[in-house]
Amino acid sequence: MSANDTVTSSAASLEELYRDLHRHPELGFQEHRTASIVAERLTALGYEVTSGVAQTGVVAILANGPGPTALVRADMDALPVREETGLDYASTATATDASGTTVPVSHACGHDLHTTCLLGAAAQLAADRSSWTGTLMLVFQPAEELGSGAQALVDDGLFERFPKPDVVLGQHVAPLPAGKIAAHAGAAYAGSDSLRVRLIGQGAHGSMPQNSIDPVVMAAETVLRLQTIVSRELASTDVAVLTVGALHAGNAANVIPGEATLLLNIRSYTPAVRQHILESVQRIAHGVAATSGAAHVPLIEEIERFPVVVNDPEALATTFDAFRDWLGADQLLEPGAGAGSEDVGILATSAGAPLSFWLLGGSDPSLFTIGDMTDPALLTIPSNHSPHYAPVIEPTLSIGATALVTAARTWLAPAR
């Protein structure tokens, strides 16, 4: 078999694996099948594999002599989203979520691709141990979508049970042209806080509103007032987003319910802006309740949090110098700071290591006319979390696996 035959066979194997993982998505902390496949493949490659870290995480170590330790991370979990791509390998899976509700499940964020790319990179690096020295630490993380997977790994002794890395590396597929890679130094991805706000009023018959303290009206006023936090309380140079994603109240047209619930999401980049928004949410909710004559103060609960992801400028420059030599400068993009959120930064800050994290293009290049961050196609191509999101398999898989290999080799020591 020639070298080209070997590459083709490997690419075909990765594509088959990707299709399988895509058909069988699993929610956060439920990734048992995915973790089993990951552990089996890494064990066969000669890695020292530990399963069950933070319930369903997998950590694999390949010690290859003296040198730095490079941690390369991929997330494995899927989303409670019904897939509508029409692909012949589309997911039809359902699962029971943490609240006991049966939900559709799909890899609408591309974590199946992240897992496949890292397994492909693991095979390449294990097969070429003569070219590098050091310790390769692969982390297949659960529950990124819940914002708690990375912290769960740390809490389960990730950096006490396994080596502390000298760098944390990783990537996330995005609706950019396949073949291109993008990253931003510094604060690269927003911090995110999701809140549940319960407004407690007093129910009554719809024909007797005078006997009520209407939580629907309270909720409506609260939603409108919340929109003024970003537009009227923050400086124009501050960057933040506040979204009310859900409003639940009542079950009948002629009944004023006793309470209403809002679900909010806040995106911010600095501690000061985050704190101001959180305090303003509390002030507004309490103020609306007070002026409505409600007997109970609102109940505000944090249900999810992602810290700001900060790419170490020097670490990212080192990685991208290697990407430039491999892929060419015209294939590298500067996306600016993104409003999306990730928990990979927790691994880096907990280890005291620099982070180098990038976006991997995964969309059909023929759909783009310019091919950079100004391309109008970015406004129409389905993006992550859409039921229509579907990365093209190639060249995304090949580029993604090679990017991880290139980054890891850059941070490991060359063999002498």
Enter the tokens of residue 218.
Answer: 């309270």
What pLDDT shows up at residue 290?
98
> Could you tell me the CATH number of the domain that includes residue 231?
3.30.70.360
What pLDDT shows up at residue 105?
98
Between CA 173 and CA 74 the distance in angstroms is 11
Last residue of a domain, one of 246, 278, 306: 306
- Tens of pLDDT, residue by residue over 194-248, are 999 999 999 999 999 999 999 999 999 999 999 999 999 999 999 999 999 999 9
Between CA 215 and CA 198 the distance in angstroms is 9
What pLDDT shows up at residue 8?
45
Between CA 143 and CA 166 the distance in angstroms is 24
What pLDDT shows up at residue 10?
72
Count CB atoms within 10 A of the CB of residue 198. 18
Asked whether the beta carbons of 53 and 156 are under 8 A apart, the reply is yes
> Could you tell me the CATH number of the domain that includes residue 51?
3.40.630.10
Enter the tokens of residue 12.
Answer: 């075909």
Binding residue per annotation — 296? no
Are both 95 and 197 inside the same structural domain? no
Are both 316 and 296 inside the same structural domain? no
Q: Identity (one letter) of the amino acid at 333?
A: L
- Using the structure block, give the residue that is written with the tokens 């990979």: 344
Are both 12 and 149 inside the same structural domain? yes
Are both 224 and 200 inside the same structural domain? yes
Are both 184 and 229 inside the same structural domain? no
102: containing domain = 3-190+308-414
Length of the chain: 416
What pLDDT shows up at residue 11?
74
Are both 34 and 131 inside the same structural domain? yes
Are both 184 and 277 inside the same structural domain? no
Write down the pTM of the prediction.
Answer: 0.91
Are both 129 and 54 inside the same structural domain? yes
Are both 278 and 391 inside the same structural domain? no
Are both 96 and 211 inside the same structural domain? no
Provide the sign of the torsion angle of the four alpha carbons 405, 410, 412, 416, taken in this order: positive
Asked whether the beta carbons of 139 and 57 are under 8 A apart, the reply is yes
Report the candidate in 96, 115, 94, 86 with the shortest Cα–Cα distance to residue 20. Answer: 115
Binding residue per annotation — 109? yes
Q: Which residues of the chain have pLDDT under 50?
A: 1-9
SS (HEC) of the chain: CCHHHHHHHHHHHHHHHHHHHHHCCCCCCCCHHHHHHHHHHHHHCCCEEEEEECCCEEEEEEEECCCCEEEEEEECCCECCCCCCCCCCCCCCEEECCCCCEEECECCCCHHHHHHHHHHHHHHHHHCHHHEEEEEEEEEECCCCCCCHHHHHHHCCHHHHCCCCCEEEEEEEEEEECCCEECCCEEEECEEEEEEEEEECECEECCCHHHCECHHHHHHHHHHHHHHHHHHHCCCCCCEEEEEEEEEECCCCCEECCEEEEEEEEEECCHHHHHHHHHHHHHHHHHHHHHHCCCCCCEEEEEEEECCEEECHHHHHHHHHHHHHHHCHHHEECCCCECCCCCHHHHHHHHCCCEEEEEEEEECHHHCCCCCCCCHHHHCCCCCCCCCCCCCCCCHHHHHHHHHHHHHHHHCEECC
Asked whether the beta carbons of 281 and 300 are under 8 A apart, the reply is yes
Binding residue per annotation — 83? no
Report the candidate in 209, 202, 207 with the shortest Cα–Cα distance to residue 259. Answer: 202
Q: Identity (one letter) of the amino acid at 95?
A: A
Report the domain count for the chain: 2
Asked whether the beta carbons of 10 and 120 are under 8 A apart, the reply is yes
Sequence-distant (≥ 6) Cβ neighbours of residue 196 within 8 angstroms:
261, 262, 263, 264, 299, 300, 301, 303
- Tens of pLDDT, residue by residue over 296-330, are 999 999 999 999 999 999 999 999 999 999 999 99
Binding residue per annotation — 172? yes
Last residue of a domain, one of 264, 279, 306: 306
Last residue of a domain, one of 306, 323, 356: 306
Between CA 249 and CA 312 the distance in angstroms is 45
Max Cα-Cα span within the chain: 85
How many Cα atoms within 13 Å fall on the side-chain side of residue 233?
Answer: 21
Count CB atoms within 10 A of the CB of residue 98. 10
Are both 185 and 248 inside the same structural domain? no
Are both 184 and 56 inside the same structural domain? yes
What pLDDT shows up at residue 416?
81
Sequence-distant (≥ 6) Cβ neighbours of residue 151 within 8 angstroms:
343, 346
